Homo-oligomer: A and B are copies of this chain.
Amino acid sequence: MSKKISMAVIRRLPKYYRYLKELMDKDVNRISSKELSQIIGFTASQIRQDLNNFGGFGQQGYGYNVSELYDEIGKILGLNKEYNTILVGAGNLGQAIANYSGFQKSGFKIKAIFDANPRIIGLKIRDLEVLDVELMEEYVKENDIKIAAICIPKEKAQQVADILVRAGIKGIWNFAPIDLHLPDDVVVENVHLKESLFTLSYLLNENEEATK
């Protein structure tokens, strides 16, 4: 088995991907780790180390081919694949997620939307009618659903996650403010907005102290 990649490296990959896209849009087709370091803010050394976890994408004396590297990182991130996705919880945040076309474009196809609230069930979001969450387990089993985005109250999140796992889901994008307990073969990525805001609050205070 290949060497385990650290989370620190993994979380930098999408940022490389984003900056490389920008360079492509500017018709830059070649970049050195030093140049990239100046625009992305990591050290050149770190950039080379990061990339070499996955392969030798550069060329001595030349640097990296931008579009080639972009494609390679896309593949490493699995963005060349498509994933059948569902959304659970169609409140304000859920609707925002469903309406953002960027996710669909990146290969995360929302196939169905579920909610428990009778006032939301039946609502049309994009071209999808919100379904009763009671139908979720069956739907996931029968439609090869790989990912679920869950935007529901924390009280229900673990219970819904358990059902999803039972139905064969492989990844959960969790917006509920709770740490889910899941088997090892199911991955989770949390978006804890409140924690993010609290971090901002801390930094704000720290900065105030510093400038006193």
Interface set of A (CB-CB < 8 Å, partner B):
1, 5, 10-11, 13-15, 17-18, 41, 76-79, 81, 83, 91-93, 95-97, 99-100, 102-103, 106-108, 146-147, 170-171, 173, 177, 179, 185, 187-189, 191-208, 210-211
Instruction: Determine how many copies of this chain the complex contains.
Output: 2
Task: Please tell me if the beta carbons of A198 and B93 are within 8 angstroms of each other in the complex.
Answer: no
Task: Please tell me if the beta carbons of B211 and A197 are within 8 angstroms of each other in the complex.
Answer: no
Task: Please tell me if the beta carbons of A204 and B173 are within 8 angstroms of each other in the complex.
Answer: no
Task: Please tell me if the beta carbons of A96 and B103 are within 8 angstroms of each other in the complex.
Answer: no
5 A-B pairs in the complex with CB atoms less than 8 angstroms apart: A78-B204, A92-B100, A106-B198, A106-B201, A173-B196
Complex CA distance for A175 and B77, rounded to whole angstroms: 21
The residue of chain B having its C-beta at the shortest distance from the C-beta of A91 within the complex is B96
- Chain B residues lying within 8 Å of A100, measured Cβ to Cβ, are 92-93, 193
Task: Please tell me if the beta carbons of B185 and A200 are within 8 angstroms of each other in the complex.
Answer: no
Task: Please tell me if the beta carbons of B187 and A77 are within 8 angstroms of each other in the complex.
Answer: no
Task: Please tell me if the beta carbons of B78 and A205 are within 8 angstroms of each other in the complex.
Answer: yes
- Chain B residues lying within 8 Å of A83, measured Cβ to Cβ, are 201, 204
Complex CA distance for A197 and B87, rounded to whole angstroms: 13
CB distance from A146 to the nearest CB of B (A): 7
- Chain B residues lying within 8 Å of A192, measured Cβ to Cβ, are 14
Task: Please tell me if the beta carbons of A197 and B108 are within 8 angstroms of each other in the complex.
Answer: yes
Shortest beta-carbon contacts, A-B, top 7: A14-B195, A92-B96, A189-B200, A78-B205, A14-B198, A187-B203, A93-B96
The residue of chain B having its C-beta at the shortest distance from the C-beta of A189 within the complex is B200
- Chain B residues lying within 8 Å of A205, measured Cβ to Cβ, are 77-78, 81
* Most B CB within 10 A of own CB, among A10, A146, A189, A210: A189
- Chain B residues lying within 8 Å of A5, measured Cβ to Cβ, are 206
Task: Please tell me if the beta carbons of B92 and A198 are within 8 angstroms of each other in the complex.
Answer: no
Q: A41-B179, A195-B18 are in contact. Are A13 and B202 (CB under 8 A)?
A: yes
